[in-house]
Chains A and B, each alone.
Chain A
């Protein structure tokens, strides 16, 4: 276990939350995009997070030893992937639109602005929590250094 583990772990949390905020921003920006790269309406993107094991040798060894008890040496979090949300597209009645079909409906992305905004709030609060954890580790470290005076 290293001295700066806690700061590194909080850092992985910051990175993960930032990616989530980026993806939410992308979803919001494309809330009205009827033609994505494949010509279809934009599909909502979602981030999948996964737990990260310790990357250094000592941590990996300790995880292997305690594998039976299911304990993993703390290593933080990482983005496992960004996946498309398979919720069907919304159908909006807008006969004047050039995208409208024979019945006057336009296929719009499966994005709800309200969902995206609440996600954004939760992501920014998780980010704050990671910052607080990092600050606490830093002040603990500073008080240890104070012993050397």
Chain B
């Protein structure tokens, strides 16, 4: 087993995906009043699942930001501000959870190396 195993690589890839999703959600919120704007989304989970089943390395994986066709509301955009706010909160918590897990795994490695866990 290497020091940086595939789980750690997956966690890092998920953090990148979550960060990219954060950018997309922020863009949707910024454009919540732009006429004709179509919301964007990043679905990195399915790509990661594929990588796990095919044994592909997630390390250099790139995720796509896709435009989601949504019907324009009364203000002329396809953005639902409530949905985007909910997704923003969810994604923020997801990211925190990922960093906690990465931190815990780092602590394990650190204690194996003989240093006191932070």
A residues in contact (CB < 8 Å) with B: 1, 3, 5-6, 9-10, 12-13, 16-17, 20, 48-51, 66, 69-77, 122, 126, 129-130, 132-134, 136-137, 139-140, 143-144, 146-147, 149
Interface check B89, CB cutoff 8 A: yes
The answer for the CA separation of A9 and B88 in the assembled complex, in Å, is 14
* Contact across chains for B26 and A146 when beta carbons are under 8 A apart: no
Please tell me if B57 contacts chain A, counting CB pairs below 8 Å.
Answer: no
Question: Which residue of B25, B66, B81, B99 is within 8 Å of A144 (Cβ)?
Answer: B99
Asked whether, in the complex, the Cβ of A147 is within 8 Å of the Cβ of B23, the reply is no
A16 to B95, alpha carbons, bound, how many Å? 28
| Contact flag A146-B103 (CB < 8 Å), given A136-B22, A140-B22 | yes
Asked whether A147 and B103 contact (CB < 8 A) given A76-B27, A77-B31, A133-B29, the answer is yes
Complex: A139 Cα to B19 Cα, angstroms: 12
Within 8 A of A (CB), among B5-32: 15, 18-20, 22-27, 29-32
Number of A-B contacts (CB under 8 A): 109
- Tally of contact residues, B, Cβ under 8 A: 39
> How near does chain A come to B53, taking the closest CB pair, in angstroms?
25
A136-B22, A144-B15 known, 8 other contacts, Cβ within 8 Å: A1-B23, A69-B67, A126-B81, A129-B29, A130-B29, A132-B88, A134-B26, A140-B96
Min Cβ gap A46→B in Å is 11
